Amino acid sequence: MVFSFFRSGDKAMDEVEDRIHQMLIDGRNVYDTAMEAVFGGGKSKKAKAAVKGADNEINVAQRDVRRALLVHASVAPATDVAEVLSYMSVIKDVERIGDYSKNLYDLARYGVNFETADDRDELAKYRDLVGQLISDAAATFQTRDTQGAEALVAKAGGFLDDYDSHVKAAYRSDGSPDVAVARALYYRFLKRITAHVMNFLTALALPLDQLDYYDEPNLDS
Amino acid sequence: MNNRSSSSAKNYFPAPIRTLAVIGLLYLFLGGVKLLESGIKGLGSDFTDALFGNVSNPLVGLFVGSLATVLVQSSSVTTATIVGLVASGVVPVDSAVPMIMGANIGTTVTNTLVSLANLRNREDFKRAFAAATMHDFFNVMTVAVLLPVELLTGVLARTAAGIAGLFAGRSDLGGSFNSPIKSAVGWLATGVRDSIEGLFASTKALGVALVVLGILLILATLTLITKNMRVLVADRIERTMNAALAKSGLTGLAVGLLVTVAVQSSSITTSILIPLVASGVLLVRNAYPITLGANIGTTITALLAALGAGAVDGLTIAIVHTLFNVVGILLIYPWPATRYLPVRLAEALAEVATRHRSLALVYVFGVFVAIPAIGVIVL
């Protein structure tokens, strides 16, 4: 503790950014565990513990990052102002990836199993798209790739409407309610995860005042 | 973030350059103390008696120390100046002890002023004001106990003299000791004196010029040392503060001491705590030991100044500063009955100040400006 003063190491903000990156990795892990359960794995004590444990770690990390940002702002008030403000905002989006993944796992708890569903391939397509989006966001953040972040936001924005179409289709479906509800919730959760990843990426791609406004025509500017 | 590099652009000096700058500034700081000492000696006893005669009254000494620190916003500048005054023989150690104690009280004004920035938000302000004023209460309580004891027994000065004698290799007060630092600094002071000597008609005028130059040098170098050190160790401070947020007791003390020694300013350490406490991330009680550690850490500046001055008396008063703060902590902190008394008093004051916020301004002006100023004038 006190000896950490004498330890040389990364800059304090680098440690914050490493922590945020790790939160994204953990978010991807929770997501994968939840999806395994929804696609045939079903509920299990092991999966439940894994989802709960990882989500809890993300929540702890969120508070740690907030505290670290406040300490940074107190110790070096004139530096990294934009980073402190934007991280304070987008850390919430990273945390939500874990939350919605937990909601996806709850579908398996309710007995949803997409592995044997007729539309399994369509469901799996979006599962893989979102999973890849989280990983790409983590990689983009790690390298501070502004252009990569812009490209990802544009790409992810392209399938936001698809989720709405699927939710509408489930609503209008004549099939059994449990099938329709499962799909409506599934696509709704995927849309929320996608939106939060996009919000997070705006921290890299857009000026501070434009955070979260990925859907307005200012990305190119 | 994409604008990270631009926001950090003000840190354009690489660390090795800053480190070299700090070493150079430390040398100039010690030179400033030596210039001050040398200038005072040149003023003549009639002039210095008239100027410093009043501080033989302990209360005047206390108020002068406090007021001077409030004016320059740095106890390090005041204590280094006091070391110079004592080393020159103008102010005896006994008279300087209350001045040192006053500097300890005066230094708490900075974080109290910082806490006023939270006036707009009731809860934040209550926490911030409590965190700031617990430092005031602790230092005033320590002075209230130790000043009478010191006046009656001289225990701090005698103990410090004994320790100074051990370090200096001699026990006679008023003597001097040799050190490589003193020799190096002496060369600078003599050089400056010799080069400006011809500009002044009298020894007294030269003395005044050297005193002014010495004080300006102390003020400027300490400001720059603090600024550079703050940049140099910012990441270490952040790591340590992050680790210390949920801790209390000795860990907090050690953190406060380390950070303050590193940045050469207790005001920086205690001011960093205010936004953390205001936001509720750091509890007032966890900030308390960090503040006490800062009290000890800030005494390093006077000790450094004493090494440059090379007078046993100067070293003695610097050690008094350290002893006063260590003994103060030992008197109050280890005992459950008294440990959190400053915190409770500060929280009670913050409660009142939150309801009547103008009272906070009255408190700051009264304690740090009006009372010491009236004291100096009346006494």
pLDDT score for B200: 87
- In chain B, which residue's Cα lies nearest the Cα of A75? B272
Q: What is the pLDDT of residues B200-233, one digit of tens each?
A: 888 889 999 999 999 999 999 999 998 888 888 8
Please tell me which of the candidates B238, B254, B279 has its beta carbon nearest to residue A75: B238
Give the count of beta carbons closer than 10 Å to the beta carbon of residue A9: 11
Confidence bin at B9 (pLDDT 50/70/90): very low
- Cα A63 from Cα A4, distance rounded (Å): 20
- Cα A195 from Cα A187, distance rounded (Å): 12
Query: Does B355 lie at the interface with A, CB-CB under 8 angstroms?
Result: no
The H or E element spanning position B216 is helix B203-232
Interface test with A, best of B239, B267, B276 (most A CBs within 10 A): B239
In a domain, B2, yes or no: no
Tens place of pLDDT per residue across chain A (221 aa): 566 666 666 677 888 999 999 999 999 999 999 999 999 877 788 889 999 999 999 999 999 999 999 999 998 887 888 889 999 988 999 999 999 999 999 999 999 999 989 999 999 999 999 999 999 999 999 998 989 999 999 999 888 889 999 999 988 888 888 889 999 999 999 999 999 999 999 888 888 888 877 766 554 44
Percent of chain B with pLDDT over 90: 60
Long-range contacts of residues B140-144, Cβ cutoff 8 Å, at least 24 apart: B140/B105, B141/B328, B141/B332, B141/B341, B141/B342, B142/B101, B142/B104, B142/B324, B142/B325, B142/B327, B142/B328, B142/B331, B142/B332, B143/B62, B143/B101, B143/B102, B143/B104, B143/B105
Query: Which two tokens mark B128?
Result: 């911030």
Residue B276: give the domain boundaries: 14-378
Query: Does A15 lie at the interface with B, CB-CB under 8 angstroms?
Result: yes
Q: What is the pLDDT of residues B34-69, one digit of tens each?
A: 898 888 888 877 777 777 777 789 999 999 999 999
Q: What is the pLDDT of residues B164-196, one digit of tens each?
A: 988 876 555 557 777 777 788 888 888 888 898
In a domain, B8, yes or no: no
ipTM of this predicted structure:
0.77
- φ/ψ of residue B299, rounded to 5: -75, -10
In a domain, B9, yes or no: no
- In chain B, which residue's Cα lies nearest the Cα of A12? B235
Nearest to A199 by CA among A164, A156, A170: A156
* Cα dihedral across residues A190, A193, A195, A197: positive or negative: negative
- In chain A, which residue's Cα lies nearest the Cα of B5? A80
Query: Which two tokens mark B92?
Result: 């005896």
In a domain, B4, yes or no: no
pLDDT score for B351: 96
pLDDT score for B197: 86
pTM of the model: 0.83
In a domain, B238, yes or no: yes
- Cα B119 from Cα B105, distance rounded (Å): 23
Percent of chain B with pLDDT over 70: 95
Contact A67 B244 (CB under 8 A): no
* DSSP assignments along A147-192, one per residue: HHHHHHHHHHHHTHHHHHHHHHHHHH--S-HHHHHHHHHHHHHHHH
Instruction: Spell B161-172 as b/e; 16+ CB within 10 A means b.
Output: bebbbebbeeee
Decide if pLDDT at B8 tops 50.
no
* Cα dihedral across residues B257, B262, B264, B268: positive or negative: negative
pLDDT score for A22: 95
Please tell me which of the candidates B7, B10, B234 has its beta carbon nearest to residue A75: B234
B320 near B142, Cβ under 8 Å?
no
- A chain contacts of residue B262, beta-carbon cutoff 8 Å: 5
275-314 in chain B: CB under 8 A from chain A: 275-276, 279, 281
Contact A70 B237 (CB under 8 A): no
Give the closest-approach CA distance of A17 to chain B in angstroms: 9
- Cα A172 from Cα A178, distance rounded (Å): 13
In a domain, B194, yes or no: yes
- Cα B104 from Cα B135, distance rounded (Å): 10
- In chain B, which residue's Cα lies nearest the Cα of A67? B281
Domains and CATH numbers, chain A: 11-210 (1.20.58.220)
Query: Which two tokens mark B103?
Result: 């500097």
- φ/ψ of residue B10, rounded to 5: -70, -20
Contact B239 A4 (CB under 8 A): yes
Query: Does B236 lie at the interface with A, CB-CB under 8 angstroms?
Result: yes
Provide the number of structural domains found in chain B.
Answer: 1
- In chain A, which residue's Cα lies nearest the Cα of B114? A74
More confident residue, B235 or A139: A139
B119 in helix, strand or coil? coil
A180 near A218, Cβ under 8 Å?
no
- Tell me how many degrees the CA angle B357-B358-B359 measures, rounded to the nearest 5: 85
Give the closest-approach CA distance of B267 to chain A in angstroms: 12
- Cα B98 from Cα B86, distance rounded (Å): 13
In a domain, B353, yes or no: yes
pLDDT score for B7: 43
- Cα A32 from Cα B259, distance rounded (Å): 44
pLDDT score for B174: 59
Determine the average pLDDT of the residues in B259-284: 91
Determine the average pLDDT of the residues in B260-283: 91
Q: What is the pLDDT of residues B91-120, one digit of tens each?
A: 999 999 999 999 999 999 999 999 999 998
Instruction: Spell A87-103 as b/e; 16+ CB within 10 A means b.
Output: bebbbebbbbbbbbbbb
Please tell me which of the candidates A1, A67, A72 has its beta carbon nearest to residue B247: A1
In a domain, B1, yes or no: no
